[in-house]
Amino acid sequence: MVRRSRHSQGRAHVAEAHALINYLLKPEVAAKNTNFISYANGNLPSRKFIDKAILDDPTIYPDAATMAKLYTIVAHDLRTHRLINRLWMRIKTGS
């Protein structure tokens, strides 16, 4: 994950930021990162450069049957998020 600092002054280094992102998205570089940290990436062309042991590890790259069981948590609007937090605090505190 790459993010801009909230303390940066405007768009001082936009070209450099784009250059870094473009570099990190190169298949060879993405594969090196995956091989180093053993964490999957979404760059399909990088798969030919990823170590076979990592590609074959179902905890890093799950098979189709496992992927079919996974789901994405939907982000809630601010009002709903506050309600969930309040209800969770009531459960935690017993009040």
Give the per-residue SS3 of 24-89: HCCHHHHHHHHHHHCCCCCCHHHHHHCCHHHHCCCCCCCCHHHHHHCCCCCCCCHHHHHHHHHHHH
What are the pLDDT digits (tens) for 44-78? 999 999 999 999 999 999 999 999 999 998 899 99
Q: Which two tokens stand for residue 60?
A: 């890093």
**Does the model's pTM come out above 0.85?**
no
**Burial category of 30 from C-beta neighbours within 10 Å (exposed 0-12, middle 13-18, buried 19 and up):** buried
Question: Is pLDDT above 60 for 1?
Answer: no
